[in-house]
Chains A and B, each alone.
Chain A
Amino acid sequence: DQQVKQNSPSLSVQEGRISILNCDYTNSMFDYFLWYKKYPAEGPTFLISISSIKDKNEDGRFTVFLNKSAKHLSLHIVPSQPGDSAVYFCAASDSNYQLIWGAGTKLIIKP
């Protein structure tokens, strides 16, 4: 049973527009959520995180929104750039600090 789901395997967005990546979770005990970005042949790189006590966290072009009642979080990238093309993983953790990962969404930024 997947506790963290990224239902879109891929997403294609025009350069300069907004990219929205979605993630759903089932475990209400999760209290910390992270987004990672992964290029081919490299390890994932930490991007941005959010604690369950917040509903929004912003870092430059990246904003993560958390809707606890819907058990849903999203990552917004504005404006999208060619270098943003990568696989994005959503992860969640509980008090045991074990990360549960989604399957990833491949983001393609079209010029």
Chain B
Amino acid sequence: KAGVTQTPRYLIKTRGQQVTLSCSPISGHRSVSWYQQTPGQGLQFLFEYFSETQRNKGNFPGRFSGRQFSNSRSEMNVSTLELGDSALYLCASSSENTDTQYFGPGTRLTVL
């Protein structure tokens, strides 16, 4: 099976812009979670989607949003970018009713 893929791998934006990141889960996986990793921090949970519905949400401002499509692909959007949004954004997929998640390579976002 192909693994989790994320596009783009690298992105440079300026403050105030908005960005959309994409994630394709492992075939058959219906759950997709998004995480933010910054230097010195652990993985901060953003949100989880299951069957096109947001099932869980972390403590991030409303500028961070997401959605999931019928084929389980997911997108994450960040509006009005701030310098502090510079981070590695990771997507993970899992099959139903399991805790084990499989991560993509991440999208490195740099906000200038």
Seen from chain A, the residues whose Cβ lies within 8 Å of a Cβ on chain B are: 4, 6, 9, 32, 34, 36, 41-46, 49, 89, 91, 93, 96-104
**Inter-chain residue pair count (beta carbon < 8 A):** 60
Seen from chain B, the residues whose Cβ lies within 8 Å of a Cβ on chain A are: 4, 31, 33, 35, 40-45, 48, 55-56, 90, 92, 94, 97-106, 108
Residues of B within 8 A of A91 (CB): 43
Residues of B within 8 A of A93 (CB): 99
A98/B100 in contact, CB under 8 A: no
- Please give the distance in Å from A54's CB to the nearest CB on chain B: 14
The answer for the CA separation of A91 and B85 in the assembled complex, in Å, is 23
Given known contacts A32-B99, A44-B103, A101-B43, what 6 new A-B pairs fall within 8 Å (CB)? A34-B99, A97-B99, A98-B45, A99-B33, A99-B101, A101-B44
